[in-house]
Homo-oligomer: A and B are copies of this chain.
Amino acid sequence: VSITTLAERAVADSPSHRELLAGQKAETRRRILAAARKVFLGSGFMEANLSEVARVAGVGKGTLYRHFETKGDLYVAMLSEHGGSFLREMAEAFDPHAPTLTQIEQLGRFYLAFWKRHPEHFQLIWAVQNRDVVGSFSRERNDRLREVFEQPLRLLAALIRTGIEQGTVRPVDPWNSANALALSANAVAGPVVTHARPIVERDLDQVYEQLLDLFLAGLAMPPAGSSRPR
């Protein structure tokens, strides 16, 4: 490799002024989102205010408003980011070449493990269940949110559909089954993650395992020719 070539490469690799600005902008956005996470977790969505977020992020209010016009924008951006990391980590957690029911099992195990790794995401995401929060969102923002929530559900439904086509999964309704699984998994994982004070004493990790076992057995196609006892 000649010196000239190296120099040419260095020039080619050095970021343009435009790229530098874009990098700075992304970095500021990242800092604002990290600050928002702290503030939202501390005071909750309703009480959180943008001046506080700007202060914690160490940026001016003008800068913050250039990135996010309203608290709702900031919240939706935060959830989109979480949705992104959920999908990335999920993609690594399961083996696309394993049998379909094994993939669903891997997904189920990943789900609890993910929330245990990121309990703060869980709290932020479920704030959205609050009528007052979602009620204040524009249609466009609701659509973005729906996208974040629906992507993993659609993937699970697609897995179930594949299993049905392959004959390893009973002919259930894929979309309703995916929703049943996700809501159930949430109901058990939630108290684990938020350390809710238990009234009924139950080992929620064990309940989660049992839930997964029941769903997998419930999805599995019974052996050909057999009639399921009911």
Chain A positions within 8 Å of B, measured between CB atoms, are 99, 101-102, 128-129, 131, 134-135, 142, 145-146, 149-150, 153, 168, 170, 172-173, 175-177, 179-181, 183-184, 186-188, 196-197, 199-203, 206-211, 213-223, 226-230
Contacts and interface: CB of A to CB of B under 8 A. Distances in A.
A196 to B, nearest CB: 6
A206 B153 contact: no
B170 A180 contact: no
A176 B210 contact: yes
Contact of A188 (B128, B168, B180, B207): B180
Nearest to A183: B187
A218 B223 contact: no
A172 B214 contact: yes
Contact of A206 (B101, B176, B217): B176
A130 to B, nearest CB: 9
Contacts of A187: 183-184, 186-187
A228 B218 CA distance: 11
Given A146-B200, A200-B149, A207-B183, A177 B223 contact: no
Nearest to A210: B176
Contacts of A209: 176
B218 A229 contact: no
B228 A217 contact: yes
